[in-house]
Amino acid sequence: MAEFDISRHVGRLDETPHRVGEVAALHQVELLDPEGRTIADCDEDDARSVHFVARSADRLVGYVQYDPEANRLRQMIVVKDLRGGKLGRTLVERVRDESRRRGQKELRVHAWTGSIDFYRRVEFEAAGEVHADDRVPWQAMMLR
């Protein structure tokens, strides 16, 4: 089983070596392309967020963002060959812990419909209907 090093960054990731190249490329391909957006569309959210970047050896394997203003888990990515393992759960735990340190009792996520089962497995519950009017359908979910 792979071991992961997860680093925490506050504010814009382009001010750290992680954003240059790997994180930006992973973010673009996995999240932004399906929504028809670019990295520039995320500047404001990135600047106010806490980011967790997961590496295994010299390889970027995952990323998640916590938006403290909205108390929301955002933009979670686990590379395809590691999905279904412990990394996704570990990234959610990091965000949950960050939220709790900030005094929050629950955590929100807008889960793409293809990831709803994952979020249910890590104890999120549906908090509304599926929004199918966007490019990528999603559902609001809560972790209490």
DSSP 39: G
Q: What are the Cα distances from residue 54, in Å, to 44, 91, 132?
A: 22, 8, 30
Token representation of residue 21:
């190249």
Separation CA 18–CA 72 (nearest Å): 22
pLDDT at residue 1 in the model: 46
Topology given in CATH for the domain delimited by 5-104: Aminopeptidase (3.40.630)
pLDDT at residue 107 in the model: 97
Query: Strand pairing of 138-143 and 59-67?
Result: unpaired
The ranges assigned to domains in the chain are 5-104
Model pTM score: 0.79
Q: Which H or E run includes 9?
A: strand 5-10
Q: Among the residues of the chain, which ranges form H helices?
A: 24-27, 33-35, 43-47, 87-101, 116-121
pLDDT at residue 113 in the model: 92
Strand order in the sheet with 107-112: 5-10, 50-56, 59-67, 72-78, 107-112, 138-143, 125-131
Q: Which H or E run includes 11?
A: none
The pLDDT tens digits along the chain (144 residues) read 468 888 887 876 655 555 545 776 676 666 677 777 776 666 566 667 898 989 888 888 998 999 999 999 988 989 888 888 999 999 999 999 999 999 999 999 999 899 999 999 999 999 999 998 777 899 999 999
Separation CA 33–CA 72 (nearest Å): 21
pLDDT at residue 14 in the model: 58
Query: Strand pairing of 50-56 and 5-10?
Result: antiparallel
pLDDT at residue 42 in the model: 62
pLDDT at residue 116 in the model: 95
